[in-house]
Structure 1
Amino acid sequence: MAAPLHFLLLLPLPFFSLFLAPAFSSGQKEPKVPALYVFGDSTADVGNNNYLPGNNAKANFPHNGIDFPFSRPTGRFSNGYNGIDFLARHVGFKRSPPPFLSLASNMSHDIMRGVKGTNFASGGSGILDSTGSTNSTISMTKQIQYFSTVRSQLTRRLAIEQIDELFSKSLFIISSGGNDIFAYFSQNRFPNVTERQNFISSLITKYGDHLKELYALGGRKFGIVNVPPLGCCPYPRSLNPTGGCLEMLNELTQEFNGALKVLMNDVSSTLAGMKYSIGSSNAVVMNIVNNPGTLGFQETKTACCGFGKFNGESGCTPNATVCSDRRRYLFWDLLHPTHATAKIFGLAVYSGPEQFASPINFKKLVEDYN
């Protein structure tokens, strides 16, 4: 398990007080970037999977969304907002941009909404095309194809120069990798060093391909969210006879995150004008696990909503057990954080120190228009 980061010691008191602000305080009046374009998995999905025919990886039913405005289940794997929503609020938007598939049915009419951004993320997806079921999730490759469609549609309304300027100043957020690691672990419980290295290498190579495709389509500012400590989620804990974190999963996660850091440095050094920040969901979650009381948490092992050991043996459904004080829980369901956790993540990554976002935080990334 990672060493404590002593979050409160790293941040001034006024910064900590922001964690105690109302859950739905208003965002910035004027967004700091023209638009947000979001790619990734269930950590970023705001409803794309609602429109898919498969029954897996959906959250458009109670108790999901119980703390969302009007207690509405939107398809977010959360009791309220997810981390992308909070990042969007810090940038100046109301919340994450709408899911692409909510616009796709009437693209010619709704495409101009894409000028302010679009969310392409899909629960169950991964960096690799082989991750996730093809009928119940949208692969990262397909998400980028959808973004290309948005660009093509915008060319009917805007000049190429306008589109290039729009995308170059916009923030591209990617939150992916966890499902790939889960899928690999489920088939390789005891991989040797060489096997692990080969897997991480293939994952990072594909990630680099996706980045280059988005760059070719106009992306220049990239907000990357790394993978949290998967082994400490309620589901993996439920598989461990001791109830502790599954260290093999955490080791794979650390290896991936380390390789991702190298990748971003290498890619940004070869692609002119590309800038990035890596937001460490891993550091944020581990800090809460190691120092729960300092940030107002009481339960870091058991999910708020679910069934079985640690409420981690099945997902959050209308018949599941649900906790009453959701602000005290790190995890909402067997794999996903609560609204309270997402709020801390958003603030730490947006304006926190290097332990939580590097080489610069998201605030410096979006405020840099050069």
Structure 2
Amino acid sequence: MAFLLTKLASLPSVLCLLTFLFWEVAGADGVPAIYVFGDSTADVGNNNYLPGSTAKANFPHNGVDFPAKRPTGRFSNGYNGIDFLAMHIGFKRSPPPFLSIASKIHHRIVSGIKGVNFASGGSGILDSTGDTMSTTNQIENFATVRSNMTSHLSEMQADQLLSKSIFIISTGGNDIFDYFLQNNAPNVTEKEKFITTLVSTYKYHLEKLYNLGARKFGMVDVPPIGCCPFPRSLSPTGGCLDVLNELSLQFNKATMALMHELSLTLKGMKYSIGSSNAVVSNIIRSPATIGIKETKTACCGGGKFNGELSCTPNASFCSERNRYLFWDKLHPTHAASKLAGLAIYGGSPEFASPINFKQLVEEDD
């Protein structure tokens, strides 16, 4: 066994990622609920209920590989990364979108106790990002759920439930995109100022969640968004847009420092940062090793790299969806999300640190 572990440790990162495909990752006991916050990487249908939002995915070809081939509002041909993380923790999939139960919240308190997904496609950390439910709005909605809990549970019971629950947050990419569209060639000082503002606002949100009872934070960092089909379609060479990737890495580094700082100052707080950046970067570097054949062009869409037009009912879509990294111009396929979920949940420090999600789940209060 020691020899086998030594050999595995010597393999390239992408091969280590591949090994997760063959692991049985058992759901852990003791996690009563999952609460999800973020953007379209985590949305499971909240935007379906926002009449003014253009960031929707509740139509074909989205959901073509979801059970019953049903478009749910997920920006995917099937499940998204949050679904897979929820499965590994021991749930069927992501908890329901908040807006699907909002009008029934007093009658559906069980949904609040088992978990709720507040994520909204197009949203960001900053209130100025997007035209959907900002992180501020999402936390306000969680506060509503928290308040309803205490009409059915004691304060102590609610606190205990929340302290054992996992709070998953996947956001930041839209803030970076919006900033880039306003300034596509920022200098060093401008980049630093933007990242400082973004992380300072993120800190405020995380402290707010902590004050509402969150203790276990499962963060998902920003992938190399400059390599998505849409940014590639903007590049004269068709290559990745470096400025977007640089901003993503700066934000991820600053988030790591922020979480370490908060863990030292907020009593009982524990966290894991899952690196979608590392997962996607590994897939792009060595796609064939893990069964991916296309990393530049989206499966569904139109124009250059299928990244200029969205995935709509009139768009063409690929047949080998499990061989594509990107489903549409900005989002991963079901297959890529499955890889990310496996790596972040049970992976090495390259894919989740300072502990992985499995270790976060198993941490005692």
Task: Report the TM-score when normalising by structure 1.
Answer: 0.94
CA contact (8 A) 1:6 1:287 kept: no
State how 1:148-167 maps to structure 2 within 5 Å.
148-167=143-162
1:7 Cα deviation after fit: 2.6
CA contact (8 A) 1:31 1:93 kept: no
State how 1:214-363 maps to structure 2 within 5 Å.
214-363=209-358
- Equivalent residue number for residue 119 of structure 1: 117
Name which of 108, 112, 133 aligns with 1:138: 133
Task: Report the TM-score when normalising by structure 2.
Answer: 0.95
1:7 aligned onto 2:2: no
Secondary structure of 2:107's aligned partner: helix
Distance in 1 of aligned mates of 2:319 and 2:30: 36
Aligned AA for 2:253?
Answer: G
Aligned AA for 1:360?
Answer: I
Render the CA deviation track for 1:198-240: whole Å, top value 9, x for unaligned: 0000000000000000000000000000000010000000000
Task: Tell me: CA distance 1:326–1:34, structure 2 relative to 1, closer, same or farther (3 Å).
Answer: same
Aligned AA for 1:151?
Answer: R
User: Aligned pairs, how many?
Assistant: 355
Name which of 49, 55, 73 aligns with 2:71: 73
Distance in 1 of aligned mates of 2:111 and 2:193: 41
Q: Which moved more, 1:102-111 or 1:193-202?
A: 102-111
1:16 Cα deviation after fit: 4.0
Distance in 1 of aligned mates of 2:362 and 2:168: 15
Aligned AA for 1:6?
Answer: P
1:79 Cα deviation after fit: 0.2
Distance in 2 of aligned mates of 1:33 and 1:43: 22
Unpaired runs of at least 5, structure 1 = 22-26
State how 1:53-68 maps to structure 2 within 5 Å.
53-68=51-66
1:206 aligned onto 2:201: yes
Aligned AA for 2:225?
Answer: L
Distance in 1 of aligned mates of 2:27 and 2:192: 46
Task: Tell me: CA distance 1:180–1:8, structure 2 relative to 1, closer, same or farther (3 Å).
Answer: closer
Aligned AA for 1:64?
Answer: N
Distance in 1 of aligned mates of 2:139 and 2:224: 26
1:87 aligned onto 2:92: no
Distance in 1 of aligned mates of 2:61 and 2:348: 34
1:39 Cα deviation after fit: 0.2
Name which of 123, 126, 129 aligns with 1:128: 126
Aligned AA for 2:79?
Answer: Y
- Equivalent residue number for residue 147 of structure 1: 142
Secondary structure of 2:314's aligned partner: coil
Aligned AA for 1:109?
Answer: H
Task: Tell me: CA distance 1:188–1:319, structure 2 relative to 1, closer, same or farther (3 Å).
Answer: same
Aligned AA for 1:251?
Answer: E
Task: Tell me: CA distance 1:12–1:252, structure 2 relative to 1, closer, same or farther (3 Å).
Answer: closer
Aligned AA for 1:255?
Answer: Q
- Segments ≥4 residues shifted beyond 4 Å: 27-32
CA contact (8 A) 1:225 1:281 kept: yes
- Equivalent residue number for residue 24 of structure 1: none
CA contact (8 A) 2:122 2:174 kept: yes
Aligned AA for 2:275?
Answer: S
